[in-house]
Structure 1
Amino acid sequence: MTCLICIASVKRNQAVWSCCGCFCIFHLVCIQKWAKDSLFLVSSPLTDDDFGKKDYPWPCPKCRFEYKRSETPSRYYCYCGKVENPPLDPWLVPHSCGQICEREFKPPCGHKCLLLCHPGPCPPCPKMVTTTCHCKKAKPVPRRCSAKEWSCRLPCGRLLLCGQHTCENPCHAGNCQPCPRVSKQRCICGRQTAERLCASPQWQCDQVCGKALPCGNHTCEQVCHAGPCGDCPRSGKRSCPCGKSKFTLPCTEDVPTCGDSCDKVLECGIHKCSQRCHRGPCEICRQEVEKQCRCGKHTKRMPCHKPYLCETKCTKIRDCQKHQCRRKCCSGNCPPCDQVCGRTLGCRNHKCPSGCHRGSCNPCPETVDVKCNCGKTVIKVPCGRERTIKPPKCKQLCSRPPTCHHPTQEKHYCHFGRCPPCRQSCQKTLVCGHLCPVPCHDEALVKQTGLHQSAGPWEQPSEPAFIQTALPCPPCQVPVPVECLGQHEVSPLPCHSAGPYSCKRPCGRLLNCQNHTCMKECHHVTKINGSADGKKAGPECLQCEEECTKPRPPGCSHRCVLPCHPGDCPSCLQMLKIKCHCKLSVLYIECLKLTSADLKEKDLLTSCKNQCPKELPCGHRCKEICHSGCCPLNCNQKVKLRCPCKRLKKEVQCSKIQEGQVSLECDALCKEMKRKASEAELEAFENRLKGRRKNKRRKDEVEIEQSSWQKYKNLIMLPVFGVAVVMIAWLMVYND
């Protein structure tokens, strides 16, 4: 919190005063000095006689709320005004007494503030009251006392002052507005008619009445009035100028003087006029009286109308406690000190212009202009602050001439000191013909070192000196397209370093083998016989030393016997060792024949031309020559088929039996034999039941004729296994 008079902080332990208008807080000493200075400035033009007779107000420094001279604060009270010099309590609001405020609310409602002593205005009244609307039509409702005035928004309906219409505005507070309707109305005297608001039916015209008065000699001089004009103002009994005699005269004659003494009290208020009855004002009092001076120390006989002031000067000390009053014939009510303070203010430039006072002086009221470099922008600052306030920011452009080779400098605002370095492009023509694109370097700051050699380690190193000098243009950085040595790319290089270069990529030219490229780093290649082909290798390129990596024919897993070469690889003549389809024989076939053959030829090449040793599902051997895939299921082997009773038999193909195409049923003889057999079995069963020995029954077996393979397989397999053992032994010896 800051006091607006001394611009200092208000502390908890300082005496303060609060304005009742804006509730701003000031130091008590500051507000007393403010009130005294304000009264002095207002009353300084007054004379000594007028001093103290008029009660001039003094205003609040912030809101200008006026206070009387008698309301000048002289004591320190709390906010609610109950306690003088309230004690400092860290648990309470500063300058508060801690009691209930009990100040009346504004606007007054009959209640008092119930908060503890507090700064600022009291809050709105929180009491609950039951009140109706402005027009009294709505039912009463409970509301806050601070908001007890409310409107029901219904038409008011009260009769207006015109007596003819009612108020049509919504329910409102206070008196109704004047009737807004217009009607033709006569003036009071009835001579003129005009359209006027219904709210003001009575109006006066500008005409003088002019009617003859009852005396018959004069006319009425009143302006547009109602009722009779009245009697002539010069009729009846009239008094003489002194008022002692009365005469009854016609209205055409003036009242004469009575000849007696005037006896009216003069301006002095003591004596009476001694002249005869006269018209006009009385003269000044000329009687001589014994008068006492204002200070009461001397007396003198002199005319009554003249004031008496002695020459004795007052020796009392004025309220400044520095100077004597020194006013002639002072009545004891010494005015404030009229001398100027004259002490040097805080600005150190001026002296205090206020009247002589106690305490510190107010801040300097003068202002000083602070200008920019060009003087077109000016700000006003309090006197004494011009040394600490930064110059204003001027929006005008700097008008200084350029100091570099450019005809004009960059636009920048007005400033103090040197202009900023030129940031325009140099644009000087270089040796290569390009323009220098770097910022202007005519006034570059260059650090100078080595100018001063220190005498020893005890000497402090001096700061390096900077000089402003023109630097030469840097090397040209304009990009120039340059092709690399191997003609792989065209890159933009700075103009000053443009020349043949290596792009660090592999050469990539096709070697003589027509399969690989040169892996040497980008290099120069000599053109042979004026060849312009950029993809053909030259004498500087590497020689291919790789093996042939061309793809082999499908199925061939052997490498090419030649080194890396152009064209197709030679045919592969390697012998492949593979097994036949039945996995019993080992075959040797050339790789070329096997890889170039189609599926049928491959099946023939990989077949051992012997009978397939695989066994069919029916149990017979496959009759086909060594083949790939599954064996055929149509077995042509002849087998014997018997009837269910095993008596009849028949030779058929095995495949037909497997497919269920052929069956052999029992004939009548078989059935008869079966019946007899069942009867014999029944008889035997009966014999067993009787304890007889059971005869064993012979079992009839169905003879199955053996095939030729089953008969001669041992004779065939023994030579085959012998040949296989011999071949395996030969291969082992050959491989060793």
Structure 2
Amino acid sequence: MNKNIFFLSHDVFEKEDEEQKSMFNPHEAEIALNLAKYLTKQDYSQNQITILATCYRQQFYLRKLQKKSFENLNKIRISVVGNYLDEKDDIIILSLVGSNKESNIDFLSTVNSYVNRVCSGLSHAKHGLYMIGNIECLKSQSELWNRIYTTLNDMKKIGNQLDLVCQVHDTVTQVTNAIDFAAAIDGGCMQKCYAILNCGHLCQRICHFDDRDHLQYKCNETCDRYICSEKHQCPRKCFEECEKCIIKIEKTLPCGHTATLPCFVDSLDYKCWVMVEEVLPDCGHLIQQRCQYRQLSANFSAFCSNLFAINTSCTVTVCNKQCNIPLPCGHQCTRQCHVNDDPEHKKYVCKEKCEKKNKGCKGDHQCRRLCSEDCLKCEVVIKAALPCGHEARIECGADIQKHICTVEVKQVFPKCQHTITKPCHKVQEYVDLSESFDDSKNQVHDTVTQVTNTSDFAAVTDGVCMQKCYAILKCGHLCQRICHFDDRDHLQYKCNETCDRYICSEKHQCPRKCFEECEKCIIKIEKTLPCGHTATLPCFVDSLDYKCWVMVEEVLPDCGHLIQQRCQYRQLCANFSAFCSNLFAINTSCTVTFCNKQCNIPLPCGHQCTRQCHASDDPEHKKYVCKEKCEKKNKGCKGDHRCHRLCSEDCLKCEVVIKAALPCGHEARIECGADIQKHICTVEVKQVFPKCQHTITKPCHKVQEYVDLSESIDDSKNQVNDTNSSNKYQ
């Protein structure tokens, strides 16, 4: 504002409060509060501003409007002039009311009251007084206001428009009502601010007087900082913190392969997933494995070479082929290739099904135990002929000669014809007794089927009778067919009884049908692993081949980190230890287990190492390249413009354009890192010669020698028609 005293006149009439029979003017109240809001944007605090009304009804309306629409102005004092006689404030805004058709001002009914209120309102302001009222109405009722009007009019401090001057752009906003304040909503004007921010962008706010240093402003332009060594621009907003560069680029890995990775991922930390072929030197198998495992083997080689000072190639890469070497039993080894662990199979336990007959078997009953287990005596019950001629159901592996025949036989005494019945083993002298049973042996069941018509043949479908066969099969079960004359040896018969063979060393019975091939035992049992942990596994799984998944803690000797890893990896390291000990004949423990912790060692630059723990690879960080954001200022920066490059890169000269004072006194927009002393000022300046009063216009940098021209030039050099002088100034 260009005036510290001003009377804003208007012709908007007041309104009447029907209940209290008093007048108030909403137009003046809205202007007063909007003017107070504008002044708070000009570095005035609310405690420095007071709004005065000349009547109580106007005071009440001002406070009501303040609570409803101007809640952020709750610290501005609103009072009536009569209650503010002995107080002062920096800014006074006076609402006079008294605007009506009759020019009636009842609240100034007496001369003393009238004079006191006017003088009080005009004397309370220290820095600024702004009055709002109808001057025509006031003049018509008071000689005092006539004199005030004359004085203000002579000083040009009265009118129906209040000029709000933007301190940034020098533009003027004319206010006649409350709506006009919208053109200076932030205390300036409606032009864009366009101030140069620390980031180099321009402020996009409507002209504002608050926060001129833009410390609270959030720049919403797209960030143009480089966030990686590939000079990829940050995709976020300028005010947001730059994130790691996730643009995917093709990188060459240490192994020579390429991979498409996010830009921030270090190729040294990336594990190569390319499948490569490799012939293992120990077993000669050609395997396919991921390149990262081949690199792991290379790291082991380097470790062993450093540990034992021997130039050797480590062959601890685990072969994933099956061994398949023929065993003495005729089967093949089913373990994963183990050329460095029991290569001669002295400790190997064959888990294949035994192909021999049961011990002492007289038929073709195959052993159902594992190949590595001793065959048991054949316990299949068969029908065998005893030496006495009788048949008996005995175990196949039993000695027939030792079997006691318990068949009850009749002995007829020839002379008396008496008959006695005794067990066969007590009448061995009657060896030929079996001849009396030949006729019965020629038939199956000695049954007779009578046929009278064709339907009766159903009782002899299989050529014999309707009784069950019940012949003893090789498996020990009974034939369940109807009596049949074909296939009496039961070679084609499929026994449908539940299999009662043992299929594992734990004597679990086979759950399949008797005629079906027994499968591996899948009943889950708890087994103790070589590492000492237990696991619930299918019965056929060898605990030696199972990888333990129990998480264990281990302190790594190289870096001292406490890591959690699966027990199988610790066993792997133990196998490496055994390998190293065998290879070099030295009793040592292998410590090549990789730490999965982050290094976090402080670097000379102040940042921390972000690589995975690398105690055995560049522990002093001589090759490490810090990828953190640089925290220094730009090179040659005179402000606070931070370097946006990586910490490992050299800072560039500060290129942020700033407004700087040159040695000549002019201001210019130059790069922050530039040398002000070397900047050439191009401002056009006028040079007036004292004697001739001629004026020349030249760039500032060309008239430095004329600074004291008026004192040094003598009369002979200042003549208007002097040719030499004219040439000098051109």
Going by fraction, where is helix more abundant, 1 or 2? 2
Alignment TM-score, normalising by the size of structure 2: 0.26
Counting strand residues as a fraction of each chain, which structure ranks higher? 2
By relative contact order (CA 8 Å, sep 6+), the higher-ranking structure is 2
Higher-Rg structure is: 1
